Chain A
Amino acid sequence: MSDPIGSVEGQAGRNLPPLKLHVPEPPARPGEAADFTHFDIPAAGAQPRPDEAAQPADMRDMAYGLVRVLDDDGQAVGPWDPRLPAETLLKMLRYMALTRAFDARMFRAQRQGKTSFYMKSTGEEAVSIGAAMALSRDDMCFPSYRQQGILIARDWSLVDMMNQIYSNKGDRMKGRQLPIMYSAREAGFFSISGNLTTQYPQAVGWAMASAAKGDTRIAATWCGEGSTAEGDFHSACTFASVYRAPVIMNVVNNQWAISSFSGFAGAEATTFAARAVGYGIAGLRVDGNDVLAVYAATRWAADRARANAGPTLIEHFTYRVEGHSTSDDPSAYRSAEESSQWPLGDPVARLKQHCIALGIWDEDRHAAMDKELAEHVRDAAREAEKNGILGHGLHHPMESMFEDVFEKMPWHLEEQKQQMLDEWKAAGL
């Protein structure tokens, strides 16, 4: 090529060092030992708890710390302990275990050829369950594809979820969406998009509408740490800040975005919660494998939003234990040891340990619950499979493809629908 614009000519004799491009590299690749030495993990209970109406400028440190409630012995400690009654704790434990059992079953169903695709949330259950339980049932959620736990914590029908996954005739989405792209308006669960982070400004818009109408409901949204790079994330933060929208913006930092580690979203330079600092909104950074911390932070942010004190950005620091999806094999790009050595432990195991320490739970009951939940999920799957599995004929009628493109079907779609039916008939199909 020709000389670059503003080439080195004019710089002769200036003796400047050559510039260097920095390209991030994760601490460990396949075959290497997992390395978490760069993580600074404060003790549980060490973080102060600002007032819900605190000025963002007065709580900037929160974006760089880590809110933790459960300590290594399973005790709930410090000012963020939500002091939940035993009944709520056990419910939380059950929802998390159910989410895990659901994931295990549906992953297997994909492997058995019953559907095209699945995504697990293993290791990240606390993020969805803790938040869903801290929100009101009528608050509106704009999730990404990894928050199936919200539906489960809102007692949504497993069969309904599975019908969507099997894309069968029982699927309320009429088999139109990729598996796990649920929509459940009644559960306050917005239709999931395959396009990353589009839900972020939408949640802000919903929250602005709620505020403009003098409603009391707030909105919450979730995206992965990798997805914070999308422009939509930043548009959402700007709108949320400008209009002090009653919204909770959650960044699920599970360290990986398919094969790209969090450094490609900026984690080498700062935290994801610190994005809030630049926008002048409240930022919290939370141990995402500690369901009590997730609950407490969400509750703090919800109370803040309800008091018209503005939006909150919460980073949930967690780990994607499994592959990105059924199409992914993480052993090709990350150390195999990472998930077992994750320093913040497993969210289900940690809550279980806490409940046992409180004397409200024991190993036998836990094992019995796991067994019961596996059967519960199996029964739901059998029920859903009566409506069909992907590619076995039990789908919505072919002409349903043309419905819902518009409210009323225009002539050209009518024509195409008829053409399709005629052609298939002519071909004897």
Chain B
Amino acid sequence: MEGGRPVSKANETDAVSKANETDAVSKANEAGVVSEVMAQGEARSDAQQMNMIQAINSALDVMMDRDPDVVVMGEDVGYFGGVFRATAGLQQKYGKNRVFDTPITECGIIGVAVGMGAYGLRPVPEIQFADYIYPALDQLVSEAARLRYRSAGEFISPMTVRSPFGGGIFGGQTHSQSPEGIFTHVSGVKTVIPSTPYDAKGLLIAAIEDNDPTIFFEPKRIYNGPFDGHYDTPAKSWAGHAEAQVPQGYYRIPLGKARTARAGEALTILCYGTMVHVVENTVAAMGIDAEIIDLRTLVPLDIEAIEASVRKTGRCLIVHEATRTSGFGAELLAQVQERCFYHLEAPIERVTGFDTPYPHSLEWAYFPGPVRIREAITKIMKD
């Protein structure tokens, strides 16, 4: 993605053959090497149109097929296939020993996943909504995240916690939150957030193969189609979107690698998840030559991509839906300030959710939409 041009997804796809052992490619840096090796001229073979749910389902299917140690568990994920249908058909295909409903206890789900990981399995628990991950916090923060460290690698916790997050569906304060900043603050967990069906599948596969615990937050507002931030216009589907062309087989997108969603010279916009689309649309509407970096992985962060872009443009806007204070944007702002200060031509700006719970009726006043992004861009470009 260097050079500030949109890069074809194929360059980041390592179509590692199924014969490869999963642990052989389990580390992000190794994966990076592999993907570079595989980079040349790899088209999206056997691609088909998928929405983000289908892409996630496909990633789980591919990984369950490749690795008998991968297990899927969570509230309503088994027979029913999940309240968002992300695990549909998996129990029927792989059996109840590998795909099962759980009691409604998030603390239990994650604690059990730690135990299964200690045995040698590769659990992919689902937390039905990110808003319900808090009861599991102790098992995640004190246990999963620290197991490798406190046992000096004797035990690991290779789980990937999938969870829908973010607002825009009139879910009120307990079906709308973006708690990624809570996890990026914890040493020992990786945090991944896709923004397209293609990325969702490739990143989820990489997360499952990764030997460290990974939080995989799925922006549910864009499960069924990209969202431009204009809530009052009809919802779009993923049909016809380039990033909804998803290979049916195995591919991975290395963790820790950002994506240049749009190459440009005027300013750098750092974002992830739903906000990538809101930003893209606002930028297009303004006709400004912004460079939009979709972070994809918050921890570990692709600092090289960020640095290269901000050094080039000299201006930086950070956009996320999560609340502002101690949000991940604060970390991004600090990083950019520390590394690019002498290249900056304007103060760094943040557009974020407000520091309130997510309101129900005033959802769209809360959501950091096109109005606020436009204002921030205008302000940055003025200086």
A residues sitting closer than 8 Å to B (CB atoms) are 1-5, 21, 23, 25, 29, 116-117, 167-168, 171, 175-179, 181, 193-196, 226-227, 229-232, 257-260, 264-266, 327, 332-333, 390-391, 395-396, 398, 400-402, 405, 412-413, 416, 420, 423-424, 426-427, 429
In the complex with contacts A167-B360, A258-B75, A332-B80, A194-B355 CB distance below 8 A: no
Which of B29-37, B58-66, B367-375 makes up part of the contact surface? B367-375
In the complex with contacts A1-B69, A2-B120, A260-B101, A23-B96 CB distance below 8 A: yes
* B175/A398 in contact, CB under 8 A: no
Per-residue A-contact encoding for B90-116, CB less than 8 Å = 1, 0 else? 000000110011111111100000000
* A195/B174 in contact, CB under 8 A: yes
User: A265: which of B103, B155, B170 is its contact (CB, 8 Å)?
Assistant: B103
B359 adjacent to chain A (CB < 8 Å): yes
* A54 to B: closest C-beta gap in Å: 31
* B34 to A: closest C-beta gap in Å: 20
In the complex with contacts A23-B100, A29-B79, A178-B361 CB distance below 8 A: no
* B172/A194 in contact, CB under 8 A: yes
* A405/B356 in contact, CB under 8 A: yes
In the complex with contacts A231-B107, A258-B83, A5-B371 CB distance below 8 A: no
How far apart are the CA atoms of A175 and B371 in the complex, in Å? Answer: 22
How far apart are the CA atoms of A29 and B80 in the complex, in Å? Answer: 10
39-77 of chain B: CB within 8 A of chain A? 69, 75-76
How far apart are the CA atoms of A333 and B79 in the complex, in Å? Answer: 7
How far apart are the CA atoms of A391 and B170 in the complex, in Å? Answer: 10
How far apart are the CA atoms of A116 and B364 in the complex, in Å? Answer: 14
* B361/A175 in contact, CB under 8 A: yes
* A42 to B: closest C-beta gap in Å: 28
B residues sitting closer than 8 Å to A (CB atoms) are 23, 69, 75-76, 78-80, 83, 96-97, 100-108, 118-122, 131-132, 134-135, 155, 170-175, 324-325, 354-357, 359-362, 365-366, 371-372, 374-375
* A378 to B: closest C-beta gap in Å: 23
* A229/B108 in contact, CB under 8 A: yes
User: B172: which of A178, A398, A402, A429 is its contact (CB, 8 Å)?
Assistant: A178
Most A CB within 10 A of own CB, among B78, B104, B119: B104
* A179 to B: closest C-beta gap in Å: 8
Chain B residues positioned under 8 Å from A2 (CB to CB): 120
Chain A residues positioned under 8 Å from B172 (CB to CB): 116-117, 176-178, 181, 194
In the complex with contacts A5-B119, A395-B361, A194-B135 CB distance below 8 A: no
* A230/B354 in contact, CB under 8 A: no
* B76/A178 in contact, CB under 8 A: no
* B366/A401 in contact, CB under 8 A: yes
Most B CB within 10 A of own CB, among A23, A179, A266, A424: A23
Q: List 16 A-B contacts (CB under 8 A).
A: A1-B122, A2-B120, A167-B361, A175-B361, A178-B174, A178-B175, A193-B174, A229-B104, A231-B107, A232-B135, A264-B101, A395-B361, A396-B362, A405-B355, A424-B371, A427-B375
How far apart are the CA atoms of A182 and B325 in the complex, in Å? Answer: 29
Chain B residues positioned under 8 Å from A168 (CB to CB): 361
User: A412: which of B155, B355, B359 is its contact (CB, 8 Å)?
Assistant: B355
Interface of B is mostly: loop
* A237 to B: closest C-beta gap in Å: 14
Most A CB within 10 A of own CB, among B101, B324, B375: B101
How far apart are the CA atoms of A29 and B78 in the complex, in Å? Answer: 13
User: B170: which of A117, A227, A231 is its contact (CB, 8 Å)?
Assistant: A117
* A176/B132 in contact, CB under 8 A: no
Task: Name A116's closest neighbour in chain B (CB-CB).
Answer: B170
* A427/B371 in contact, CB under 8 A: yes
How far apart are the CA atoms of A416 and B365 in the complex, in Å? Answer: 12
How far apart are the CA atoms of A4 and B97 in the complex, in Å? Answer: 17
* B120/A1 in contact, CB under 8 A: yes
Chain A residues positioned under 8 Å from B360 (CB to CB): 116, 167, 175-179, 390
A-B contacts besides A29-B79, A398-B365, A412-B355, 8 pairs, CB < 8 Å: A21-B96, A175-B361, A195-B134, A264-B101, A401-B354, A401-B359, A401-B365, A420-B365
* B137 to A: closest C-beta gap in Å: 11
User: B104: which of A1, A171, A194, A227 is its contact (CB, 8 Å)?
Assistant: A227
* A401/B362 in contact, CB under 8 A: yes
* A331 to B: closest C-beta gap in Å: 11
Most A CB within 10 A of own CB, among B107, B134, B135, B361: B361
* B375/A423 in contact, CB under 8 A: yes
* A429/B371 in contact, CB under 8 A: yes
* A259/B325 in contact, CB under 8 A: no
* B371/A416 in contact, CB under 8 A: no
How far apart are the CA atoms of A220 and B105 in the complex, in Å? Answer: 22
How far apart are the CA atoms of A333 and B362 in the complex, in Å? Answer: 35
Task: Name A175's closest neighbour in chain B (CB-CB).
Answer: B361
Task: Name B121's closest neighbour in chain A (CB-CB).
Answer: A1
* A401/B173 in contact, CB under 8 A: no
In the complex with contacts A194-B131, A258-B76, A230-B105 CB distance below 8 A: yes
How far apart are the CA atoms of A390 and B170 in the complex, in Å? Answer: 10
* A67 to B: closest C-beta gap in Å: 26
How far apart are the CA atoms of A106 and B104 in the complex, in Å? Answer: 27
Task: Name B88's closest neighbour in chain A (CB-CB).
Answer: A332
Task: Name A227's closest neighbour in chain B (CB-CB).
Answer: B104
In the complex with contacts A29-B79, A194-B131, A265-B97 CB distance below 8 A: no
Chain B residues positioned under 8 Å from A401 (CB to CB): 354, 356, 359, 362, 365-366
* A328 to B: closest C-beta gap in Å: 8
* B32 to A: closest C-beta gap in Å: 23
How far apart are the CA atoms of A59 and B173 in the complex, in Å? Answer: 42
* A259/B76 in contact, CB under 8 A: yes
Task: Name A24's closest neighbour in chain B (CB-CB).
Answer: B101
User: B105: which of A231, A405, A413, A416 is its contact (CB, 8 Å)?
Assistant: A231
Chain A residues positioned under 8 Å from B23 (CB to CB): 1
User: A178: which of B78, B171, B325, B356 is its contact (CB, 8 Å)?
Assistant: B171
Chain A residues positioned under 8 Å from B75 (CB to CB): 257-258, 260
Chain A residues positioned under 8 Å from B104 (CB to CB): 196, 226-227, 229-230, 257, 260, 264-265
In the complex with contacts A175-B362, A194-B174, A5-B354 CB distance below 8 A: no
How far apart are the CA atoms of A400 and B355 in the complex, in Å? Answer: 13
